[in-house]
Structure 1
Amino acid sequence: MKFKMNLFSNNTLGVAGIWVIALVLASGNIKASTAVNPKVQQGEADKIAIGNLLDGLHQAAASADAEDYFGRYTEDAYFLGTDASERWSIDEFKAYADKPFSEGRGWRYEVVSRQLLPTSSPHVYGFDEVLNNAKLGLCRGSGIVIHDGKRWLVAHYVLSMLIPNAIAETVGQASIRNLGQQP
C-alpha cells in the first residue's frame, strides 16, 4: 500500500500542509522573510552611534573631562550658547571651558528626549534634544553631526533655553532691559 499525503483538502491547505511548510521554514532552506535592507541596518547602527556620541558628550561635560568632551567635536565645529555673545569656534569654546573644566566644574544636562533627523547624505544627521538642567530648567540642544569616515562627530551645537509661552513676554522684556535695548 502506497502512502499518499494530501497537502490540500478541498482546495484549502490541510493540517499536513501546514506541518510541511512549518518544517521547511524551520529547516532554514526557505526564509520566512526577505533579507533586511543593508541601508536600513546601517541607518539604525548610525542612530545608535549618534545617540552614544551625544550621551557621551553630556557625560564628559558633567565630569569636566575636556579631552573626551572636545574630542567629540570636529576641528572646525561651532558651539552656540544661550547668550547672544556665545557663538564660539571650537577653539574659543575650549578657552571658555578651560577654567571650569580644570577646576572640575563641568555642566550637567540630562536628556529628556531626542530626535535624529537623517539628511540626503548618509554621513550627515541633524538632531534636537530636550535637556534638563538644575539652574536653567528645560533647554534644547540641536545641531549637526557628521561621519568623518571613522566616527560620528559634532560639527555644530546650539543650546537654547525653552521658555514657556505664558512667560515669554516677561522673559523677553527682561532680556531687552538687560541688553540695554528699548522695545
Structure 2
Amino acid sequence: MKKIALICSVLSLAISTYLFTKPAEVNTADETKAINTLLDNWHAAAAKADYNGYFGKIAEDGIYIGTDATENWTKKEFEAFSKPYFDKGRTWDFKALQRNIFFSKDGKTAWFNELLDTHMKACQGSGVLEKTGKEWKIKQYVLSMTFPNDNIEKVLPLKAQYEDALIEKLKAKK
C-alpha cells in the first residue's frame, strides 16, 4: 500500500510540474490578427504622416533597413532621417498585398514577410517582432525592391555607378 501511495505521489508531482511549467499555448490566429493589424496600421500611419503612430510601433532598440545599401538605421537614426518627410506630410504609402507570419514556440517572437504595393512598384518587406506583455513591437524591418531575374543585367550598370565604390570602401575596413 505504501508503494502505491508513493507512486501516486510521484506521479501527482510529475503531472503538477508539467502542467505548471509547460508554456502556454499560443493562439496563433489571434496573434496573427494582432500582427496584421499592427503592420497595416504602421503602414497607414506613414501614409498619413502620423509620426508618433509610425515610430511608436518600432521598439526602442529597433532597426530599419531600407532599399539603399547604406540604410541600416537604429530607430533614432531612422526617426532623424524621416522627420522632415513627416513634418512636410510627404512620406510613403505601402500597402500589403500578401503577408506570411510565423511564431517562435513560446509565442513571444514573430517574423514575417510581405509583398507590398508601393511608389517603387512591388517591394518586399520582412521583419521581426517581439511581444512584451500584451504588446507587439517591430524589432527589425527590411525593405527590398524587387527586380525580375531575367533582366538583372540591365540594372547592374546603374547599381555599379554607386555601389562599386561602397563595396570597395567596406572591403577596405575589414
What residue number does 2:69 align with? 84
- For 1:153, the aligned partner's letter is K
Q: Does 1:167 align with 2:151?
A: yes
Aligned length: 143
Distance 2:56 2:34 in 1: 15
- For 1:176, the aligned partner's letter is A
Distance 2:72 2:162 in 1: 19
Distance 1:175 1:54 in 2: 30
Distance 1:128 1:180 in 2: 29
Judging by fraction of residues, say which structure has more helix: 2
What residue number does 2:81 align with? 96
Query: Please, what is the CA RMSD of the aligned residues?
Result: 1.6
Q: Does 1:39 align with 2:25?
A: yes
Q: How does the TM-score come out when normalised to structure 1?
A: 0.74
Gaps of 5+ in 2: 1-23, 168-174
Distance 1:45 1:150 in 2: 12
Q: How does the TM-score come out when normalised to structure 2?
A: 0.78
What residue number does 1:57 align with? 42
Gaps of 5+ in 1: 1-37
What residue number does 2:139 align with? 155
1:180, CA displacement in angstroms?
A: 4.3
Correspondence list, 1:9-48, <5 A: 39=25, 42-48=27-33
Q: 1:122 aligned to 104, 107, 115, which one?
A: 107
Distance 1:180 1:118 in 2: 38
Structure with the larger RCO, 1 or 2 (CA within 8 Å, 6+ apart): 2
Tell me the secondary structure at the aligned position of residue 53 of structure 1: helix
Tell me the secondary structure at the aligned position of residue 121 of structure 1: coil
Q: Which has the larger radius of gyration?
A: 1
What stretches of structure 1 move > 4 A for 4+ residues in a row? Answer: none
Q: Does 1:133 align with 2:118?
A: yes
Distance 1:180 1:47 in 2: 41
1:170, CA displacement in angstroms?
A: 1.6
- Percent of aligned positions that are identical: 35
